[in-house]
Amino acid sequence: MVGKQSGYLIIPLLQGFEWFDEGLQRSMRARGWPTLTRPESMIMIHVIQDMIRPSAIARSLGLTRQAVHRTIGQICEKGLFEMRPDPADGRGSIIVLTPQGEAMRRDAQHIAAAIHRVLEQRLGAKPFRELVNLLESDWGPVAEIDPADQPAD
């Protein structure tokens, strides 16, 4: 449920992600695809963006390598991923989409585009473009607030 005023940016950002992910998951299930947990979905998004090394995904998500490997294993069991030796580093491995995973990716991209159109209709073309532009803009380095910066009493 997006739309409730909280005054905190992080809340509507998270609600927007959850709204989008839930629409995507429901639409994928309606097409007969296996249900992905939120962690599985996050890893799938990284792989689709060509982040195929589990260690890089773990760093990006702020998770342990063990947690990422466990989740990747679950996705492999669903027939969507294969693990292969990393040709650039014999000690590591890479994630490769299976033919089923590629088909799921194509369906997910089609559904995501349709969800974009729904949101654009609901928000209006100009506000939608502005939202996308703002979210895609360079926010600079991660903000780290000095402990001396205390709220006013």
Higher-confidence residue: 151 or 127?
A: 127
Q: How many CB atoms lie within 10 A of CB 41?
A: 18
Question: Which CATH code is given to the segment(s) 11-134?
Answer: 1.10.10.10
Q: What confidence score (pLDDT) does residue 4 get?
A: 62
Domain boundaries defined on the chain: 11-134
Residue 81 and residue 101: Cα distance in Å, rounded?
Answer: 6
Helices 38-48 and 65-77: angle between axes, nearest 10 degrees: 90
pLDDT of 6 above 90: no
Q: What is the mean pLDDT of residues 10-37?
A: 93
pTM of the model: 0.81
